[in-house]
Amino acid sequence: MRFAHPLLICASLALTAPLVAEAQTAFSPGRLFVASLGDDVVIELDPTGVEARRLGAGTLVDPRGIAFGPDGNLYVASSTRVHVFAPDGTLVRSLGENTSLSAARGLALGTHGEVFVTSLDRVLVFEIDGTFLREFGQDDDLTVPAGLAIGANGHVFVCSSADNRVFEFDPAGTKVRELGSDGDLSIPIGLAFGPDGRLWVSSLFGANVVGLDVDGTVASGTVVFDDAALAFPTGLAFGPNGDLFVASLVGNGVREFSLGGTYLGSWPSATTAPFPEGVAFSPHRFSARISGELSRTGQKSIKRKEDAVISFTPGSRTLMLALTDVETNTSDLASEFGTDWYVLHGFEAFATPLATTRVFQGFGFVEPVQEAGVASMPMRVSGVTQTSYFAPRFVPKKAAGSLHVADATAVFSGSVKTKKALN
């Protein structure tokens, strides 16, 4: 298995007409989904917070972590399986058979589209098609792992809830360090990277949510979310408006907070989502065309055009790119770089202009985008610290930008243009 290569899509932001969902072919974008332990279902809420439908009834057992994949499906951690649901609610496949997966909880898609899920004392990794790849953490004192998130550098962050710590692993599964302390965390459960670049952690017994800086300490000047409305917080997700949504296990709802710490209300009522844990927002999806030149070591460069799908969750730091010929796997790009799936973490738009030339910054690179009448809004995949930026609300239907993929033997440089909205 080969790990992800740095990618970048730069897209200028513009207002677009409302997107229309195609019946049963895509999840409506920007909607809140909640895993309910009490009812063993995942609940989809409409934009007003009213229950729209339930998924997984009769299939799910103790549903906890949930995430959307680059294939447009919903992934749900459920006891000894990860169940995958299509937009129409049908079960597509299940991951975890004949493995050590047990008490599945934390769930995230990795930088190659791999599925990471926590088990009793370890993290298991699967291909998106369900093929088991590897496991790690069982020899690193990972104890009752819960929430899981992927960093901009592809590192895996896992709540070791019984230790009151967050463990950081590199993509291969080697433990890098421990974050947090007993004073900061008390049974950490939920993890999410925020638009401020910090790692936000919920503490079940601490009844609060804190933001951890890159050094693993509670960030100076950040608000510690601690409100009477926040009872036994579990799952976390950032919404299209940049607010933090926190599942309240005992409160039987999802609490919304501004990053300034103001409590803004509850989604939904106690009768709708008993004992919620996992929360996630459905992404916008766009068809796209990739055009450029593929250069292989010792061979003549060739021009390539590829159809792709871009998935982007408003307000998040993650953008997914998928080549669409996944059935035949005949794409030059896919065969050269070993995968059909790419996930861009740490995808950000900065409010302050950067250099006008491409600058390589470790894991990824940055490049400004300019369009008539639009301020320069570079987006990046890198570990560079900035204090003045925001996460883009959406990718416009006609967005265009650059794409760069490279490894030791090949380089693809070209452009990406979105063609139309898929939901």
SS3 for 117-185, per residue? EECCCCEEEECCCCCEEEEECCCCCCCCEEEEEECCCCCEEEEEHHHCEEEEECCCCCEEEEECCCCCC
172 and 292 within one domain: no
Distances (CA, A) of 146 to 142, 344, 378: 10, 23, 34
- Is the pLDDT score of 125 beyond 90? yes
The one-letter code for the residue type at 232 is: F
The answer to the question of residue 8 being in a domain is: no
Q: Which of 258, 281, 304 finishes a domain?
A: 281
Q: What range does the domain containing 79 cover?
A: 32-281
Collapsing DSSP states into helix, strand and coil, what is residue 333?
helix
Q: What would the pLDDT profile of 209-239 be if each residue is shown by its tens digit?
A: 888 887 777 766 555 666 666 788 999 998 8
Span of 129-133, 365-369, 391-395 with lowest mean pLDDT = 365-369
Cα–Cα distance between 44 and 273 in angstroms, integer? 10
- Is the pLDDT score of 353 beyond 50? no
The answer to the question of residue 19 being in a domain is: no
CATH number, domain containing residue 136: 2.130.10.10
The answer to the question of residue 216 being in a domain is: yes
119 and 227 within one domain: yes
Average pLDDT score, the chain? 75
The one-letter code for the residue type at 357 is: T
- Is the pLDDT score of 134 beyond 80? yes
The one-letter code for the residue type at 275 is: F
Q: What is the mean predicted confidence (pLDDT) over 98-120?
A: 90
Q: Tell me the pLDDT band of 123, cut-offs 50, 70 and 90.
A: very high
Buried b vs exposed e over 184-196: b needs ≥16 C-beta within 10 Å? bbebbbbbbbbbb
- The predicted pLDDT at position 286 comes to 81
Q: Which of 281, 304, 334 finishes a domain?
A: 281
Beta-bridge mates of residue 263: 257
Q: Tell me the pLDDT band of 197, cut-offs 50, 70 and 90.
A: confident
Q: What is the mean predicted confidence (pLDDT) over 277-288?
A: 89
The answer to the question of residue 256 being in a domain is: yes
Please identify which residue in the block is written with the tokens 């301020």. Answer: 375
Contact 107, 82 (CB under 8 A): yes
Q: What is the mean predicted confidence (pLDDT) over 318-335?
A: 61
Cα–Cα distance between 241 and 393 in angstroms, integer? 7
- Is the pLDDT score of 388 beyond 50? no
Q: What is the mean predicted confidence (pLDDT) over 333-348?
A: 54
* 329 phi-psi bin (left φ>0, alpha ψ -120 to 50, beta other): left
301 and 257 within one domain: no
Tell me the helix, strand and coil percentages in the chain, rounded to 5.
0, 45, 55
Q: Tell me the pLDDT band of 337, cut-offs 50, 70 and 90.
A: low
Q: What percent of the chain has pLDDT over 70?
A: 68
Span of 56-65, 314-323, 386-395, 404-413 with lowest mean pLDDT = 386-395
Task: Please name the residues in contact with 330: beta carbons below 8 A apart, sequence gap of 6 or more.
Answer: none
Beta-bridge mates of residue 309: 287, 322
**Phi, psi (rounded to 5 degrees) for 363:** -65, -40
203 and 79 within one domain: yes
- The predicted pLDDT at position 99 comes to 95
60 and 187 within one domain: yes
91 and 158 within one domain: yes
- Is the pLDDT score of 259 beyond 90? no
Domain count, the chain: 2
Span of 19-23, 28-32, 299-303, 363-367 with lowest mean pLDDT = 363-367
Cα–Cα distance between 235 and 203 in angstroms, integer? 10
340 and 232 within one domain: no
**Which of 41-50, 99-108, 144-153 shows the highest mean pLDDT?**
99-108
Q: Tell me the pLDDT band of 315, cut-offs 50, 70 and 90.
A: low
The answer to the question of residue 6 being in a domain is: no
- Is the pLDDT score of 184 beyond 90? no
The answer to the question of residue 124 being in a domain is: yes
368 and 310 within one domain: yes
- The predicted pLDDT at position 413 comes to 77
The answer to the question of residue 10 being in a domain is: no
298 and 272 within one domain: no
Contact 260, 223 (CB under 8 A): yes
355 and 313 within one domain: yes
**Phi, psi (rounded to 5 degrees) for 40:** 55, 50
Q: Which of 225, 255, 281 finishes a domain?
A: 281
293 and 248 within one domain: no
- The predicted pLDDT at position 73 comes to 93
Cα–Cα distance between 114 and 119 in angstroms, integer? 16
- The predicted pLDDT at position 421 comes to 80
- The predicted pLDDT at position 407 comes to 63
- The predicted pLDDT at position 21 comes to 37
Q: H/E element holding 202?
A: strand 199-203
190 and 223 within one domain: yes
The answer to the question of residue 128 being in a domain is: yes
- Is the pLDDT score of 168 beyond 90? yes
